[in-house]
Structure formats: structure tokens, C-alpha cells
Amino acid sequence: MPKPSDLLQGTLDLLILKSLAREPLHGWGIARRIQSLSDEVLSVQQGSLYPALHRLEQQGWVIAEWKNTDLGRSAKFYSLTRDGKKQLDRELEIWRRLSSAVGLLLKRA
């Protein structure tokens, strides 16, 4: 479970969970999606993506399955578990509170 202070790791987990919310994706796909959804602003440090994915898998938030890609290449697809969906909601809530608090603070400061 990410600690509140562990912002970077927590954020990466949130981004991964969010990008899996719509459909199962492989690691490469997740990296792509984060990049494209953020209009190329956020680019995931590709090396840190896999340990994060494996950690989420060990924690039971995501589940992995080997499937063929559209091009017929076998790849490891990750999808959210039911618990993962709830975790995503929780993390989103935390994120909203945090970002609005930070936003407020920046506005007033």
C-alpha cells in the first residue's frame, strides 16, 4: 500500500491502475497510453514500469494473462481485479484531495 509521502510511487501506481481501467493492456501498451493520454507530457520511466506492475500483481490489484496481440505476438496482458478497481477508486479519491489541497495552497500562497 503506498504511503502518502511516497508520492512518486503512488502516482505511478495510480496511473497504471487508471490506464488499465478501460481494458487489459501489456506493459508496452500501458506506457504508450500514459504518454498519449497526457498529450505526451508524462513519459513513464520505462525501467520503473515493470517493478511497479509486478508489485501491483503481487498485491492482488492486477492480474496477468498471456494473450496474443492484434499482430499475433504473445504478450503479458494485465487487467484490474475487482479489488484493484476499488483500490483505484481509493487512490483517485486520495489524489483528488491532495491535488485540490495543493492547488488551493498554491493559489493562496
CB neighbours of residue 66 within 10 Å: 9
> Is 75 an interacting residue with respect to other proteins (CB under 8 A)?
yes
Interaction pattern, residues 18-37, with other proteins; x per rule: CB under 8 A: --------xxx--x------
Minimal distance in Å, beta carbon 27 to other proteins? Answer: 6
> Is 51 an interacting residue with respect to other proteins (CB under 8 A)?
yes
> Is 58 an interacting residue with respect to other proteins (CB under 8 A)?
yes
Which letter, b or e, does each residue of 67-103 get, where b requires 16 or more Cβ atoms within 10 Å of its Cβ? eeeeeeeeeebbebeeebeebbeebeeebeeeeeeee
> Is 10 an interacting residue with respect to other proteins (CB under 8 A)?
no
> Is 50 an interacting residue with respect to other proteins (CB under 8 A)?
yes
Grid cell 476499488 is found at: 86
Measuring CA to CA, which residue among 88, 81, 108, 71 is closest to residue 24?
A: 81
> Is 3 an interacting residue with respect to other proteins (CB under 8 A)?
no
* Contact residues for other proteins, defined by CB under 8 A: 26-28, 31, 46-47, 50-51, 54-55, 57-60, 63, 66, 73-76, 81-83
